[in-house]
Structure 1
Amino acid sequence: MDAVPAPPRPLVAIRYCPKCRWLTRAAWLAQELLITFPDEIDVLLSPGSSGIFDVTLDGALLFSRATAERFPEPKELKQSIRDRIAPARPLGHSDR
């Protein structure tokens, strides 16, 4: 009997500017998200154009540094992702 493949998980993509040396920040955010959603999401780090730091979920923009004029906080990304993929799921201290 053939195993049924698991459905694809939501993809969080973090597009960052390598010239600005934002890989470390992108990797830290990816780690924070994967600790919180270890079995629910996949995370992709992707170098982009000058000055970019965008976070998307399945192609939908969650956060843009250019628009917000700051970097995202892990708490706000966790809440935004949770609200889209598992609205009833508690996030512990990230809900406060």
Structure 2
Amino acid sequence: MTPALPHVQITYCTMCQWLLRAGWMAQELLSTFGTELGAVTLVPTTGGVFRITVDDEVVWDRKTDGGFPDAAELKRRVRDRIDPDRDLGHADRTTSPGADA
């Protein structure tokens, strides 16, 4: 029996109108990780919540992490939970091209 694939859940505030942001982040994750994810679920709520979990483990919370992640940061945090050895290419670079490392 193969193990279950990771489940990403994006909980977003409907009153804050963060559906498009949540949908865009879901699309970014699905484009990057494809069949390595079992599901990406959008969960509407209220109260200013924007939280992303992988298998019920919080990888980003707007209130504790301060705002919203950019796509590269979110991909790194999800990768670190599902496949830490995976190279994300440009998303793993911390310096700009041509900068001294």
TM-score > 0.5 by shorter chain: yes
Distance 1:88 1:8 in 2: 19
Identify the residue that residue 31 of structure 1 maps to in structure 2: 27
Identify the residue that residue 71 of structure 1 maps to in structure 2: 68
- CA deviation profile, 1:4-48 (whole Å, cap 9, x unmatched): 6x5321011000001111000000000000000001112100001
1:2-13 to structure 2, matched below 5 A, reads 7-13=3-9
* Matched positions, count: 92
- What is the percentage of aligned positions where both structures have the same residue? 49
Which stretches of structure 1, 4 residues or longer, exceed 6 Å deviation after superposition?
Answer: none
Identify the residue that residue 84 of structure 1 maps to in structure 2: 81
- Normalised by the length of structure 2, the TM-score is 0.85
Task: List gaps (5 residues or longer) in structure 2.
Answer: 94-101
Distance 1:16 1:74 in 2: 16
Shift in Å at residue 68 of structure 1?
2.1
Q: Over the residues paired in the alignment, what is the CA RMSD in angstroms?
A: 1.2
Task: List gaps (5 residues or longer) in structure 1.
Answer: none
